[in-house]
């Protein structure tokens, strides 16, 4: 999918956290909104606006490729022969235990 400038809204805001006066007074955090899909990504880890913008575009591209990945339908499978035999044997044992329950020879 090709990103065009008309499809993306770029917002800059102040990031919180450690970084001192430079980080607290400058708007270096970046929020990208992809308008056609409504996907929003942010990048606040760097004190540089340029690096945050680069990270945000990488995240947006990753989210869009993940969204456009085709879903592979699940192919239902049957249980194996051994699994069926084990389940039936367990049911037989449980049935025998229930049948022998509470019967006393008097």
pLDDT value of residue 25: 82
Do 27 and 13 form a contact (C-beta atoms < 8 A)? yes
Domain contains 90: no
Check whether 3 has a pLDDT greater than 80.
no
Domain contains 62: yes
Length of the chain equals: 106
Lowest mean pLDDT among 22-26, 57-61, 72-76: 22-26
pLDDT value of residue 21: 76
- Residues contacting 25, CB < 8 A, separation 6+: 14
- Residues contacting 29, CB < 8 A, separation 6+: 12, 13, 14, 15, 42, 43, 44, 52
CATH of the domain at 51: 3.30.160.20
Q: What pTM value is reported for the model?
A: 0.64
pLDDT value of residue 5: 78
Domain contains 84: no
Domain contains 50: yes
Do 12 and 29 form a contact (C-beta atoms < 8 A)? yes
Domain contains 49: yes
Q: What is the distance of C-alpha 56 from the center of its chain?
A: 18
Domain contains 64: yes
Domain contains 56: yes
What pLDDT band is residue 91 in, cutting at 50, 70 and 90?
A: very high
Domain contains 12: yes
Check whether 103 has a pLDDT greater than 80.
no
Number of folded domains that form the chain? 1
What pLDDT band is residue 89 in, cutting at 50, 70 and 90?
A: very high
- Residues contacting 30, CB < 8 A, separation 6+: 10, 11, 12, 42, 43, 44, 49, 52, 53, 55, 56
Mean pLDDT of 21-38: 88
Residue 40's domain comprises 5-68
């Amino acid at each position: 999918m090709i990103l065009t400038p008309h499809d993306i809204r770029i917002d800059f805001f102040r990031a919180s956290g450690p970084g001192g006066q430079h980080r607290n007074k400058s708007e270096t955090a970046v929020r990208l909104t992809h308008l056609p899909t409504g996907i929003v990504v942010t990048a606040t880890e760097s004190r540089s606006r340029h690096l945050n913008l680069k990270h945000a575009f990488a995240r947006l591209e990753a989210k869009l490729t993940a969204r456009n990945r085709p879903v592979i339908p699940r192919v239902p499978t049957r249980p194996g022969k051994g699994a069926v035999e084990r389940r039936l044997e367990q049911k037989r044992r449980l049935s025998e235990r229930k049948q022998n329950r509470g019967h006393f020879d008097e």
